[in-house]
Structure 1
Amino acid sequence: WVQGFSKNNFGFINNETVCYPCGNYILFLDIKTRQRRALQCQAGQVGALAAHGSHHVLAFSDRKLNPVIYIYTFPELSKLTELKGNAQLDYTLLAFSFTGPYLASYSSIPEFALSIWNWQENILLCSESQPGVRATSLSFNPMNWQQLCVVTESSVTIWHIERNNVEHHLKQNPVKLPDGQGSVSPHKDLFLPVSHSEDLYHGPHLPVSAIAGLV
């Protein structure tokens, strides 16, 4: 019996204990004493996993139709809650916010949905589907839980969680990546435009607002 794990699916649940999925179990390894503990997923194989080192809680999903996200405490290994969303087949990524009781999840085909939860109150705050977009990494801004980064094989997107009273909405802001040569094309500046060689005007470069007579 081989207790293997994926390098992309493990986390520290405190300063001395690392956890990772292994089949139908989640194993907890004390890196000092080398002692192991196990938590069984009653519904079958473990899917995505995330650990919160400050709150000492663990989130993981099961791999079945209409999967569920479970939140457990450590070291008690007692279940706090179950998060039931609209995913039909699987969750591929989970991530805790560094501040506040928030959890982000990303589902696989067919939804490819990014969802934000308040795991303490068992509330789905907002969700946004991206058909066909397979995310490989998901993480919150350590200083601001209302910003998170989603990485795919070809893109990086910063998502902003906008809040209006009790309503939450996701707004994306794609990051412009360098091309194959490592250079980034300049952004068009509407307020301080750059000069061009074909421009026959040799006077001072004025902002668009000044040319329009607005200032």
Structure 2
Amino acid sequence: MKKTILVIDDDDLLRNSLAKGLRSESFAVITAESAEIATEILTRISVDAIVLDRMMVGMDGLTFLKKMRASGNQTPIIMLTALSGSENAIAGLSGGADDYLAKPFQLKELVLRLKNIMRQFENKFSAGRNVLPKGLAFSDNEFYINEKLLGLSIAEKELLKKLTFPVGNIVPATPMVAKRMREKLLSVLQNIEIITVRGKGYKLVIK
């Protein structure tokens, strides 16, 4: 399955060039010309990594990055910038970026860095989950039950990630999202419970 990359840049030439180059490297690519458009896209689509320009008209990349992390979205992000100086790299990394790449750069370097941050995310997520319920697996940013893809919405998938990273987390969520995800899981897995923690959220418990 191809990894999906979201490229966010208000420079049409660079955005289209990056999309073309990444597609030639066998990635699926979605583009957004602003942070505002990217925010809307991410409510509908789950991606494996994001290439984010720092300097954009409207919401800048650093603000977008901080809002994403504050919402709990941990999708790997490489921030691009034409700004020089270590303080700019530090600001991006401190804001939650997984890597930082100064312009100009070679496509090959971007591809290697993308593969690296996606691999690190997979390893971190796997290590942080502790022990998943028997039959439930996570791979390529998707959940599977007994090797069959579990059909979750974006909101349901993000909730399940948080509940299993690590197992035992108490996670706030809207009752409707939690209800739908609970029904999908419990219809095929009998070794778990998703309990309500009054005033705090939800918690996954392995029986």
Give TM-score scaled by structure 2 length. Answer: 0.28
Q: Which protein is richer in strand relative to its size?
A: 1
Q: Which has the larger radius of gyration?
A: 1
Considering Cα pairs closer than 8 Å and 6+ residues apart, tell me whether 1 or 2 has the greater RCO.
Answer: 2
